[in-house]
Amino acid sequence: MVRPIIDYSLYLVTGRELLPEGKDYYESLEQSLQGGVTVVQIREKTADTGEFYEVALKSKAICDKYSVPLFINDRLDVFFAVSHSSPSPPLAGIHIGQTDLPLPLARSLLDKAGYPDAVIGISCQTLAEAKEAKRVEADYVGVGPCWWTGSKNLKKGVLGVRGVEEVVLAFGGPAVAIGGIKSPNLPHLLHAAPSLSGVAIISEIVGAQDPTPICQKLQKIIKSYRTGSSSQPKEVRTKENIASGVADLLSVLRKEGPVVNQLTNVVVANDSANATLALGASPIMATVPSEVTQLSKIVGACLVNFGTIKDIEGMLAAGYAANQNGKPIIFDPVAVGASDLRRSSAHELLSTWQPTIIKGNAGEIGALLGSTEVTTRGVDSGAGGFKDPAAIVKTLARKERSVVVMTGEVDWISDGETVVKLSNGNHLLGVITGSGCMTGTLVACFAAAARLAFLASNTEAIPGRLVQGDMFLGAIAGVLAMTVASEVAAERPDVKGPNTFRSALIDEMYNLTGEEILKRANIEVFA
């Protein structure tokens, strides 16, 4: 049976208990439809049958006025009653939970009652539930909860934004995310789960005095993810235009001097701050949650390096605020595979916010990917490297939807489509503490510059996008700035070993020019 095609993009689930004091439910519903809600589900968990029927019948009349499909949550009896009283146009269907009426039985009852076109959706939280929904031929699934919410049963825990895409792909059909979704975190969800057909929202819409502008804002974000990326032509990367682009970003960085907040480990904080200043940016090392949230509005980028695994609450707040304010966030998961604490902390951070760039050594990148080919030894990679490093960085970039930087004797960077190999640097980088961490600092500085370069040349930003600007180029620039400066520093006659090299390295970051980068950059590009 071919059932109607439904636009699930902005799916309103009703909740009269969330209405502002004095707000009429039917007025709220109509304002929501005027703002762009594309489908409505009537959910009445505590109402008796008569009240549920009355609310659903009146809601259908309003939805019919705007040609918006209406679902009934769980109650087949209410579906039949409303369908009998208002047969045209028909109700869209029903939505059921895992503990409600079994879907095959619901389908059989609908067919026998003369409603073979009725759509049935089912809530799913696990891969097994999604596969079962596919087996029993659900028409769509509601996936979640994405975040903590008071409206969902959380006995099985929160799925998390990182788990949504896996469940959606396991079902293989139309899917709507639900659970704690609001306009500030919506871009993160849409970035992390591009296969979604839509988002189900309750409190932000129902709890508004005037839902119309709220729904318009939500639709603007949704539409930007459906059309924004395809409307931006992508430059073909060559070693020549990469090198010249890096030189240009250095000029932007020196001219604009963005502030970069760095939640970094205590071992390298001083060197990281000096490296930031040497490049022409301004460092701040704020970690208190309330402060990092406020500072996010003025900083150009944020670095989260959990080398000494402190200030997790600040890291959570800083990344979330960066996503909200469209600022690049660079994640350096130091020794992430070394302990359960580091693994669980990385998972919590990546489930709370979307990193723009992930930077790590081979052991750290392998741990995030779940590979054991290269293992972590403390804060260092184990011996050796990946047989196919290009495939590793490209795979993790696609998985995490971030630019990925894998540092080592040779550096590999990917945005999930293109891979760049950088063969600059000096062996002395490996014998000073914190050279990898300082690389993360430089990447953050250039990411801030890439955002500023975009804003300077574009009069209108893409609404709802997490970050504007060429973050792939920013990541490459940060690595090249470190490795080229290290080459120049190592050639100085005053450098006798690690200690003098460290000081010379900061000097040469300060003296670094676009011309030096163009002359020395050793770049290979792989599609």
- Distance, first Cα to last Cα, the chain: 43
* Number of domains within the chain: 2
Q: Does residue 185 form part of some domain?
A: yes
Given 202, 227, 252, which residue is the final one in a domain? 227
- In a shared domain, residues 209 and 293: no
Given 227, 252, 280, which residue is the final one in a domain? 227
Q: Does residue 282 form part of some domain?
A: yes
- In a shared domain, residues 310 and 212: no
Over 70: is that where the pLDDT of 299 sits? yes
The string of DSSP letters for 179-237 reads SS--TTTHHHHHHH-TT-SEEEE-HHHHT-SSHHHHHHHHHHHHHHHHHTTTTSPPPPP
Q: Does residue 1 form part of some domain?
A: no
- In a shared domain, residues 221 and 243: no
pLDDT tier at 154, thresholds 50, 70, 90:
very low
pLDDT tier at 147, thresholds 50, 70, 90:
confident
- Residue 497 buriedness (CB in 10 A; 0-12 / 13-18 / 19+): exposed
382 touches 349 (CB < 8 A): no
Q: What's the pLDDT at 150? A: 54
pLDDT tier at 424, thresholds 50, 70, 90:
very high
Among 229-243, 311-325, 471-485, which range has the highest average pLDDT?
471-485
**Tens-digit pLDDT profile for residues 458-511:** 866 665 568 999 999 999 999 999 999 999 999 999 999 999 999 999 999 999
Tell me what percent of the residues of the chain surpass a pLDDT of 90.
82
Q: What's the pLDDT at 32? A: 98
Which whole number is the average pLDDT over 376-389? 67
pLDDT tier at 91, thresholds 50, 70, 90:
very high
Over 90: is that where the pLDDT of 281 sits? yes
Residue 373: CB atoms within 10 A of its CB come to 15
Q: What's the pLDDT at 229? A: 47
Which residues pair with residue 175 across a beta bridge?
A: 141
Q: What's the pLDDT at 235? A: 74
Alpha helices in 13-141 (DSSP H): 25-35, 49-65, 76-85, 103-112, 127-135
Over 80: is that where the pLDDT of 43 sits? yes
Q: What's the pLDDT at 461? A: 63
pLDDT tier at 149, thresholds 50, 70, 90:
low
Catalytic annotation present for 155: no
Which whole number is the average pLDDT over 217-244? 79
- In a shared domain, residues 282 and 359: yes
CATH number assigned to the domain comprising residue 121: 3.20.20.70
d(CA 101, CA 72): 13
Over 80: is that where the pLDDT of 153 sits? no
d(CA 32, CA 219): 11
**Tens-digit pLDDT profile for residues 61-83:** 999 999 999 999 999 999 999 99
Tell me what percent of the residues of the chain surpass a pLDDT of 70.
93
Which whole number is the average pLDDT over 261-287? 95
Which one of the listed residues 123, 296, 351, 435 is annotated catalytic? 123
Which whole number is the average pLDDT over 208-237? 81
For helices 269-279 and 498-511, what crossing angle results, to 10°? 30
Catalytic annotation present for 123: yes
Q: Does residue 319 form part of some domain?
A: yes
Residue 5: CB atoms within 10 A of its CB come to 8
Q: Are strands 282-284 and 329-332 parallel, antiparallel or unpaired?
A: unpaired
Residue 483: CB atoms within 10 A of its CB come to 25
Taking alpha carbons only, the member of 8, 480, 489 closest to residue 201 is: 8
Which one of the listed residues 60, 75, 107, 152 is annotated catalytic? 152
Considering only residues 65 and 159, tell me which one the structure prediction assigns the higher pLDDT. 65
Q: Does residue 3 form part of some domain?
A: no
- Domain span including residue 463: 239-526
Q: For the ranges 58-62, 230-234, 408-412, 440-444, which has the lowest average pLDDT?
A: 230-234
- In a shared domain, residues 223 and 287: no
pLDDT tier at 36, thresholds 50, 70, 90:
very high
Q: What's the pLDDT at 374? A: 79
What's the order of all strands across the beta sheet hosting 523-526? 282-284, 259-263, 301-305, 329-332, 357-361, 403-407, 411-414, 419-422, 523-526
Which whole number is the average pLDDT over 130-135? 97
Catalytic annotation present for 239: no
Over 80: is that where the pLDDT of 376 sits? no
- In a shared domain, residues 189 and 267: no
Q: Does residue 2 form part of some domain?
A: no
d(CA 281, CA 325): 19
- As a three-state string, the secondary structure of 315-349 is HHHHHHHHHHCCCCEEEECCCCCCCHHHHHHHHHH
Q: What's the pLDDT at 459? A: 67
Q: What's the pLDDT at 463? A: 57
Given 227, 258, 278, which residue is the final one in a domain? 227
Task: Report helix, strand or coil for 300.
Answer: coil
pLDDT tier at 159, thresholds 50, 70, 90:
confident
Considering only residues 152 and 137, tell me which one the structure prediction assigns the higher pLDDT. 137
- In a shared domain, residues 218 and 281: no
Backbone phi and psi for residue 141, each to the nearest 5 degrees, phi listed first: -125, 150
Which whole number is the average pLDDT over 401-420? 95
- In a shared domain, residues 355 and 415: yes
- In a shared domain, residues 108 and 255: no
- In a shared domain, residues 174 and 113: yes
470 touches 446 (CB < 8 A): no
Which one of the listed residues 43, 107, 162, 502 is annotated catalytic? 43
pLDDT tier at 156, thresholds 50, 70, 90:
low
Q: Does residue 64 form part of some domain?
A: yes
- In a shared domain, residues 40 and 94: yes
- In a shared domain, residues 214 and 104: yes
Which residues pair with residue 143 across a beta bridge?
A: 124, 177
Q: What's the pLDDT at 233? A: 55
Q: Does residue 4 form part of some domain?
A: no
Q: For the ranges 172-176, 241-245, 379-383, which has the lowest average pLDDT?
A: 379-383
